[in-house]
Amino acid sequence: MTNKKEHDRSSLKRSAEALRNAEKDEQVAKGRVRLLSGQFGIDVRAMRATVGIGLREFAKDLGISAAYLCDLELGRRVWTEKIINLTLEQLNNQ
């Protein structure tokens, strides 16, 4: 479990950094930000599963609705810097 947890945590950090960098680069097309946002969502969902946190519980911890978190994880919405930071903080504390 620890190996998977570390792997998921590492993947989550990499996708968060890529997403942050893409959002800062004005040359990056919006499609790339959406793609990276979707990958971050996949990584968040995997990490949640690894540490055993349900969608509703995690959304409550972040102060957002479960529907909004679901949309973020599925790539239907783009992650904001604030939510990225809260997400990383919450998952790193698990």
Q: Is 52 helix (H, G, I), strand (E, B) or coil?
A: coil
Nearest residue to 11 (alpha-carbon basis) of 19, 33, 93: 19
- Mean residue pLDDT of the chain comes to 84
| pLDDT tens-digit map of 25-58 | 655 556 666 667 788 899 999 999 999 999 999 9
pLDDT at 31: 60
> Mean of the pLDDT values across residues 52-69?
96
Tell me if 50 sits within 8 A of 81, measured CB to CB. Answer: no
**Which 8-state DSSP code applies to residue 13?**
H
Write 26-33 long-range contacts (CB < 8 A, 24+): 33/78
pTM of this prediction exceeds 0.85: no
Cα torsion 27, 29, 35, 39 to 10°: value is 10
**pLDDT given at position 25:** 65
- Tell me the domains of the chain and their CATH numbers: 2-92 (1.10.260.40)
